[in-house]
Amino acid sequence: MEQGRSSLPVLGQVGGRSLQTCRWKCAYDCFHDKPNRSGNEPFSSVVERGLTRRNFLKGAGAALVLTAGTSLVDTPAAAAAGRKGRDRGFEPISPTNADDVVVPRGYEYRLLRRWGDPVLPDAPAWDVDDQSPEAQAGQFGYNCDFVAFMPLPYRSSNSGVGLVWVNHEYTNPELMFPGYSSDAPTAAQVDIDRLAHGGSILTVKRDRRSGHTEFVRKGRWNRRIHAETPMELTGPAAGHELLRTSADPTGTRVLGMLNNCAGGVTPWGTILTCEENFHQYFANRGAVGDERIADLHARVSIPEGESERKWERFHSRYDLAQEPNEPFRFGWTVEIDPYDPTFTPRKRTALGRYKREGATTRITKDGRVAVYSGDDEVFEYIYKFVTAGRYRRKDRAHNLKLLDEGTLHVARFDVDEDGNGTGQWLPLVFGEGPLTPANGFSSQADVVIDVRRAGDLVGATPMDRPEDVQPNPKTGAVYAALTNNTSRTEPNAANPRSPNSWGHVIEWVEDGNDAAATTFRWRFLLLCGDPDDPSTYFAGFPKDRVSPISSPDNLLFDSDNNLWIATDGQATYLGPNDAFHVVPLSGRSRGHVQQFLSVPVGAEACGPELTPDERTLFCAVQHPGEGSTLESPSSTWPDRTSTPRPSLVTIAKRRGGGRIGT
């Protein structure tokens, strides 16, 4: 099959991607052809210098260097993982376009919450013909994405009772409201739309007979966070003149969070949830008179005229002609304490402002905390933040201040003379290198607000849509999902496809296996796609035995050192519906990609998440039916009615349960 071509039809495509995906997920920003705006050397050309693809992939099969003379598989943790590294004990499913969640033989799925189901005790039951902003504020939001299971009590490893955090990334109003007109949405529709964003905290308890985790309606931790929830701005940008508005002249308070895609969990038990395509909610950049402010908004693609959603017609804060600074209050990592229902969410500006995809953590050797993130746009960057202070296991109050001070870095990927992948973490610190007043930076606040341009100036490596970036808790190696880049035009050794429709996964080890290191060694794990295509690569595993995979997005590790990969765009670029795949990271089965589940027509597979005992797997089924309308839906999942509903499901083994995949 020609790379990037689908053998199965996809509804409403433009250039291979759903019209509605482009419209509501990123306001067409994901589809526009984009130049390498930084001018820095593309990742896809890094290994071109004197290297053939064959030699590079041969090198990619070698062990990554942890310390002098020590390979990844020689460390005690990795050696133990290598003994366990094996194919999971399930029969992989075949790729499918079924309008259902399809799981392996011996498994079953159940609905935990659907869009509109009550979260708060006084919320009404959902009715598509009787929606209101007041009801939505207490109901499960739309388009569930990142999922985190938090055991109860705090600091336990209990899998039977806990809290589940779910992001609600964006909405598809044409699938929410009967008779919806994108040219003339009503005030009520806009407010329901706004309140369907954000996140939900669910109290859950496992049913001993079924093995499935169920929602506890009267759980005292149940909470909805949305576009009107009061939040604090902390860190270097708090109080900066660009964050001040008529509603908040102090620049330290903001209502709500928007387009929360991926996230992470801190060692002290809080949620980090990340604002991604926030640009789409604002309008009228062309009316901004201050050239500097207009340029900053252009760098994140805020539209010159009206927005697709038309929120600005009803709320002045989304209209840059009236509030030119409002967008600077979005694009941050938000910290939330799920164990405290009164906790005010905090936007941690020290971690930088961009279209954030994930915020995953690892403790450094000297006790500080590293946070990894990607900027989910073509030719953007991978970042790491290292706290100034050290983590204290029994001092939660201290830990809740850690993310306000530290050093933000951006990644540069290179290849040495011997063809080995090398890399550097370049500091983004005011006053260092080009980050000076001569280049428009007057403080660290300026750096974190305009972090993309800071990355341009220091020479970061433009990547192919960096999504989830996750450190492996067993080995310390870090994995990044590069979803795709259809704007790439030059094939070469490291990225030989033009365009890169299928994406890839890279892995690296920080020097000394220390998350605080400023240098690292890297290689490919996967070059995704149709295994019959010669451009694909599966860590050296025989390609005739792997499941096809495209558009890697969210990542998860299990206790057997397997990587779980959720996809976003597989139907568009490969054919079958989006899915969860499992791939061993060590042992003889390293690279053996196997498909575990498939989501319904038009849907994206999000999460994934496991309970600590790995007996329950969570899958967030985002936007089933996307690309169609409520009047003529392409999916009727999950209720088999005309209204497809984004939902969170649990997967467990039949007949008494057991560890997922064994």
Grade residue 86 by pLDDT with cuts at 50, 70 and 90.
very low
Asked whether residue 305 is assigned to any structural domain, the reply reads no
53 pLDDT higher than 90? no
Grade residue 59 by pLDDT with cuts at 50, 70 and 90.
very low
- Mean pLDDT, the chain, integer: 89
Asked whether residue 5 is assigned to any structural domain, the reply reads no
Scan for tokens 């209990």, then name that residue.
Answer: 158
Write the pLDDT tens digit of every residue in 139-172.
999 999 999 999 999 999 999 999 999 999 999 9
Scan for tokens 């050239």, then name that residue.
Answer: 291
Q: What secondary structure does DSSP assign to 604-627, as a single string?
A: EEEEEEE-TTS--EEEEEE-TTTT
In a 3-state reduction of DSSP, which class is residue 524? strand
- The pLDDT score that the predictor gives to residue 75 is 35
pTM: 0.91
In terms of Cβ atoms closer than 10 Å to its own Cβ (0-12, 13-18, 19+), residue 30 is buried
Say what percent of the chain tops pLDDT 70.
87
Write the pLDDT tens digit of every residue in 439-484.
999 999 999 999 999 999 999 998 999 999 999 999 999 999 999 9
Asked whether residue 323 is assigned to any structural domain, the reply reads no
Assign residue 398 the CATH number of its domain: 2.120.10.30
Asked whether residue 126 is assigned to any structural domain, the reply reads yes
Q: Which of 604, 598, 644 is nearest to 625 (CA)?
A: 644
Asked whether residue 405 is assigned to any structural domain, the reply reads yes
Q: Which of 260, 263, 257, 400 is nearest to 329 (CA)?
A: 257
Task: Find the mean pLDDT for residues 340-364.
Answer: 97
Calpha distance 381→520 (Å, rounded): 16
How many other CB atoms sit within 10 Å of the CB of residue 195? 26
Q: Which of 650, 649, 652 is nearest to 114 (CA)?
A: 649
Calpha distance 73→587 (Å, rounded): 9
Calpha distance 606→358 (Å, rounded): 12
Grade residue 81 by pLDDT with cuts at 50, 70 and 90.
very low
Q: Which of 47, 224, 55, 66 is nearest to 138 (CA)?
A: 224
Scan for tokens 């589809």, then name that residue.
Answer: 31
Domain that holds residue 349: 13-276+331-653
419 pLDDT higher than 50? yes
Write the pLDDT tens digit of every residue in 491-530.
533 345 678 899 999 999 999 999 999 999 999 999 999 9
Grade residue 78 by pLDDT with cuts at 50, 70 and 90.
very low
Asked whether residue 297 is assigned to any structural domain, the reply reads no
Asked whether residue 475 is assigned to any structural domain, the reply reads yes
Asked whether residue 311 is assigned to any structural domain, the reply reads no
Q: Which of 2, 12, 65, 117 is nearest to 572 (CA)?
A: 12
Q: Give the count of domains, the chain.
A: 1
Q: Provide the 8-state DSSP code for 23.
A: I
Helix and strand numbers (H, E) in the chain are 11, 35
Write the pLDDT tens digit of every residue in 189-219.
999 999 999 999 999 999 988 888 999 999 9
3-state secondary structure 407-419: EEEEEEEEECCCC
CA angle in degrees (0–180, nearest 5) for 10-15-18: 40
In terms of Cβ atoms closer than 10 Å to its own Cβ (0-12, 13-18, 19+), residue 437 is exposed
- The pLDDT score that the predictor gives to residue 185 is 98
Rg (CA), the chain: 23
Kindly report whether the peptide bond that precedes residue 499 is cis, defined as omega within 30 degrees of 0: yes
Say what percent of the chain tops pLDDT 90.
80
Q: Which of 459, 473, 365, 465 is nearest to 409 (CA)?
A: 459
In a 3-state reduction of DSSP, which class is residue 113? strand
